[in-house]
Chain A
Amino acid sequence: MKAVTGHRLFWPAAVLVVMLLANVVVTPGFFSVQVRNGHLYGSLVDILLLGSPLMLIALGMTVVIATGGIDLSVGAVVAISGALACYLISGQQDQGAVTGVLVAVALALALSAVLGFWNGLLVARVGLQPIIATLILMVAGRGVAQLITSGKNINVNSPPYKLIGGGYWLTLPFAVIVVAVVVALTGLAVRRTALGMLLEAIGGNAEASRLVGIRSRRLIVLAYTFCGLCAGIAGLMISSNISTADGNNAGLWMELDAILAVVIGGTALTGGRFTLAGTILGALVIQTLSTTIYTTGVPSQVTLVFKAVVVAIVCLIQSPAFRAKVFRRRARPEAPPPAAPAAADVEVNA
């Protein structure tokens, strides 16, 4: 049913629209987009540009969460990826050489994918809980990033590298184009092949998936690898945007923002049905929130308070226990035990 898809995206879209409108009230010129020096300028463009890394990370996170997992290490991977790329570029004679930058980018992305693969192995092969498995890299990852940068911020001066996170191409920010391409490719890979359905099956019911013959392990490893890769690209963007690799602070708390974006987008943390479009909307909501707070002059760090409120509200609304206790839409005779009568719990998620 098309109506269901509409419903799934309705709330995140509505929140985004309300936030944008609120901005227009505060800043009348908020929606204006101009072309200056052949580049698009404007608050909306800024939101897209600044939100690009988050959109990518959240995209990877969505796929992992669909399998019923979670990846806490994306922030660390962001730092490592940026660190490696900048380290390699800074060591080159000519930092502006395109081939050199391409090699650096390729190696950084390869390493990110390997790190994701490692997470996937711990989850699918060793059988660790996803939170625990990815916690290891979350802890060690920043150390690795600082190891690469020798604890210092590595500054690079490389126009080709700058393009990734701060440059423009065809009047558009290059990062936004990258995000659009990755999202489109992921959408195709997920919905034009059977990948999306199988991932949803694994997250929706792992035992039934096993009994239907789905090779869950490979797919789970694939999901984590993809998530690592996305975090790697985001890491390149962040370091490229400021032409600096900061092993300590790059991607700090990004994993939490990404999870938040996924949840706001309407994908349940328990796995199963997922929506890439919702996640993108969720990421934009978070970025708009940050931008809004920034333009109102409140210290940007205070955004965290608002994020806390958003997390709380979204999670509570998604919690069946909360809805049952607070709204009491249907009076149930007693708390349903694990084995509830089969036919009774038909509920359409509106």
Chain B
Amino acid sequence: MPGAVLEMIGVSKGFPGVRALADVDFRLFPGEIHALMGENGAGKSTLIKVLTGVHSADAGEVRLGGERVTVTGPQHAQSLGISTVYQEVNLCPNLTVAENVFIGREPSKAGAIRWREIRRRAAELLTRFGVDVDPGARLGTCSLAIQQLVAIVRAVDISAKVLILDEPTSSLDRDEVEQLFTVMRRLRDDGVAILFVSHFLDQVYEVSDRMTVLRNGALVGEYETARLSRIDLVGHMTGRTLSTLEQLHVRDETARVQAEPVLKADGVGRRGAIAPFDLEIHPGEVVGLAGLLGSGRTEAARLMFGADLADSGTVALGGASVPLRSPNAAIQHGVAFCPENRKSEGLIEDLTVGENIVLALQAANGWLRPLSQARRQELVGRYMTALRITPADPDMPARNLSGGNQQKVLLARWLITQPKLLILDEPTRGIDVGAKAEIQKLVVSLAEDGVAVLFVSAELEEVLRISHKIEILRDRRLIAEIGDTGSVTPEGILEIIANGTTS
């Protein structure tokens, strides 16, 4: 085997309170497609950021072609021959394809840009990579896949040693992914080293030669893709051994079906987000949505609230079909939603804790019917006490609370409205253990009081512990439903995630 083009030795990187990378070794060889695998928070993006110079490593070294280098930033990385293409295409949509390939380094004569030359060379490059697009087309009019390919063409034309593809396939459909893979394989055959990050196991197995698995910032191992079974891979990623193959129970229909479902989704889906799926949630039932990062958990949950528009299927709330064109429609039917992204989509940091808590109720009442001061104090006080929000100061700006307390504020906000269905997207992520347990307990007790809960979480134990029924997602599809959660283990679910068919 030839020498590694890129090598990381003992690299560590910490942020305040977090060890993002701990003594990680990593090798990338010319002419290979190397997958970087790991769950959320495993350290993948930190590793890439160290490679591209966005972050500097606290310890360890990076070697490029055997030479030790200190990458100072994305520009420097590019000049060293390390190019990155992100999921969000970093090109200019208003310029032509050809210009995007060459901007900043346009061939020119006597200070004047030579457009004919640009178009000719761009056409050549695109043909060489098998990208079928008119170089004169405006980039914004091209599909996302083409845009990504153009970004890759640009990156490779600038410097062709190492190409990092960070979740390039997340929003591509099947054919587009194939197109991308064709180009990736061609580059590999040309000797380019490609680092590929994806959440889609099928894709990783389809295109990668080797993979490196990270977990909690530490290196788990480096494997040849062909010699690592999917079950082992998932095991490595999640830190579990799948020795016991549990017998799965088919859905237990006797549980709570007698009552009318609070929510019944029929073929609901959204292109590029989640394939059409069916789902029923009954009063007092906690339904868990399980799946790896990027499997479509959040996307499915958002459709149930009208946060995104579904482009197929119908949703019935309390027996009546409701067109969910906006969150308002869902809220009126007693649906509540705590989004995954607390800061950008949930909390209004400018407002006080108390204001944040009463916001949903007030929005439903309309501005002309304000809660009386006494009622507001009573409600805020009651829920702050019940959820143990600290510091217990309702007049404090919400931005100053810790993550766990912010989450409780969001919960309180919806509990006040006495919802029939509560959708919680990763309510326990990034919060401390105590708060986590409190929130789990709260969910259980809510269900006992007859509230239906749709619970999205990356943590399988958590989902298992509190759910009556688990929906398993993979590669943006709902692939299985487990009705009797008493007889399932986390390993059993991983098994399904690893081996489930995506038909």
Contact = CB atoms under 8 A, between A and B. Distances in A.
A–B touching in complex (CB under 8 Å): yes
B365 A194 contact: yes
Contact of A198 (B54, B339, B350, B362): B362
A147 to B, nearest CB: 36
Contact of A204 (B337, B351, B369, B370): B351
A131 B268 CA distance: 39
16 contacts: A193-B368, A194-B370, A197-B362, A200-B351, A205-B344, A205-B345, A211-B337, A212-B413, A213-B360, A213-B364, A215-B366, A273-B351, A342-B403, A342-B430, A343-B17, A348-B400
Nearest to B337: A211
Interface in B381-408: 393, 395-397, 399-400, 402-403
Interface in A188-221: 192-195, 197-198, 200-201, 203-205, 207-215, 219
A194 B351 contact: no
Instruction: Across the A-B interface, give the 6 residue pairs with the lowest CB-CB distance, nearest first.
Output: A204-B350, A272-B350, A213-B331, A194-B370, A214-B363, A195-B367
Interface in A216-238: 219
B350 A273 contact: yes
Contacts, number: 98
Contacts of A211: 305, 307, 327, 337, 339, 345-346
B400 A208 contact: no
Contact of B348 (A1, A209, A341, A344): A209
B328 interface: yes
Nearest to A209: B348
B343 interface: yes
**Among B369, B370, B393: residue with most chain A CB under 10 A:** B370
B348 A208 contact: yes
A194 B362 contact: yes
A346 interface: yes
Given A193-B368, A201-B351, A346-B400, A210 B346 contact: no
The interface size bin for chain A is 20 to 34
Given A211-B307, A211-B339, 9 more contacts: A200-B350, A200-B351, A200-B355, A201-B355, A204-B351, A205-B348, A208-B344, A211-B327, A215-B363
A337 interface: yes
Interface of A: 1, 192-195, 197-198, 200-201, 203-205, 207-215, 219, 272-273, 337, 341-344, 346, 348
Contact of A344 (B16, B305, B307, B362): B16
Contacts of A346: 399-400
Nearest to B373: A192
A197 B344 contact: no
Nearest to A215: B328
A341 B413 CA distance: 25
A212 B403 contact: no
A107 B347 CA distance: 43
Contacts of A215: 328, 363, 366
Interface residues of B, number: 44
Contact of A201 (B348, B366, B396): B348
A208 B402 CA distance: 18
A272 to B, nearest CB: 4
A193 B360 contact: no
A68 B363 CA distance: 18
B413 A342 contact: no
B16 A341 contact: yes
A219 B339 CA distance: 24
A337 B367 contact: no
B363 A212 contact: yes
A198 B361 CA distance: 11
A219 B16 contact: no
Given A193-B367, A197-B362, A198-B363, A207 B328 contact: no
Contact of B367 (A219, A341, A344): A219
Contacts of B305: 211
Nearest to A204: B350
B326 interface: yes
Nearest to A344: B16
Contacts of B395: 1
B348 A204 contact: yes
Contacts of B350: 200, 203-205, 272-273
B426 to A, nearest CB: 13
Contacts of A204: 348-351
Interface string B46-81: 000000001000000000000000000000000000
Nearest to B326: A210
Contacts of A212: 327, 359-360, 363, 413
Contacts of A219: 367
Contact of B355 (A1, A197, A210): A197
Contact of B327 (A198, A203, A210, A348): A210
A232 B413 CA distance: 39
Contact of B359 (A197, A273, A343): A197
